[in-house]
Amino acid sequence: MTTEIETPLLPYRITICGLDELAGHAQAGFTHVVSILDPERADPQDFTAYAPHRRVLWRFDDTVRTNPGMTVPCERDVRKILSLGEELLAEKADQLLIHCHAGVSRSTATAVILMAQNNPGRESDVFRELTRVRPRSWPNSLMVGIADEILGRSGALVRELRAHHAKVAAAYPDLAEQIGRHGRAHELPTA
């Protein structure tokens, strides 16, 4: 289980997890929670055991391409993340929990976007911090690509994402294999 970690890129502590880890964080005292769920997924009941917190719920699938019957993350979703980032700063958030289904792709992309938002030129630091917070991570490349464009990073976030994917594929070949089986083989590093 990942515990909350301070990062020099954000003024609040951050935790990233999957649905199966939510119950283990009930006593952590999060002030803010971001839930990213598939559109048809039932809302988890774990939050009834959490202390009072502000929670946002976004629903889109973990996909990077348009597929029939799937809700693809889009510019509107990334802009919501960026807007939340500004709100977290204004509210002086203390602890943020970001979760999706597995705590691997949508939640880690959200963390990348939040860390990159006010740190231009520090894209490599963003992925170094992500590795520290959630080593087994594979940020959704569509979300990161949209953020790169909105933030005017000229491909820097995307380049660092590719380098991150290569490192994670080497460290967690089972995850890379799973990513490839789920329609995202184009994200795998080439030999």
Q: Tens digit of pLDDT for each residue in 58-100? A: 999 999 988 889 999 999 999 999 999 999 999 999 999 999 9
What is the average pLDDT across 132-142? 97
- The pLDDT of residue 4 is above 70: no
- Mean pLDDT across the chain: 95
| pLDDT of the residue at 67 | 85
**106 in Cβ contact with 23 (< 8 Å):** no
| pLDDT of the residue at 144 | 99
**47 in Cβ contact with 123 (< 8 Å):** no
User: Which letter, b or e, does each residue of 129-155 get, where b requires 16 or more Cβ atoms within 10 Å of its Cβ?
Assistant: bbbebbeebbbbbbbbbbbbeebebee
**142 in Cβ contact with 73 (< 8 Å):** yes
**123 in Cβ contact with 106 (< 8 Å):** no
CA-based nearest residue to 39, from 57, 54, 17: 57
Question: Where are the chain's structural domains?
Answer: 13-183
| pLDDT of the residue at 39 | 96
| pLDDT of the residue at 191 | 59
Q: Tens digit of pLDDT for each residue in 14-40? A: 999 999 999 999 999 999 999 999 999
Element (H, E) at 42: none
Alpha helices in the chain (DSSP H): 75-90, 106-117, 123-133, 141-150, 156-171, 173-179
CA-based nearest residue to 112, from 165, 188, 38, 41: 165
* Superfamily in which the 13-183 domain is placed by CATH: Protein tyrosine phosphatase superfamily (3.90.190.10)
What is the average pLDDT across 130-153? 98
| pLDDT of the residue at 3 | 58
What value, to the nearest 5°, has the Cα angle with vertex 95 and ends 90 and 99?
110
pTM, entire model: 0.95
Alpha helices in 12-94 (DSSP H): 75-90
Dihedrals φ, ψ of 174, to 5°?
A: -65, -40
Q: For residue 160, give both structure tokens.
A: 């660092």
- The pLDDT of residue 1 is above 60: no
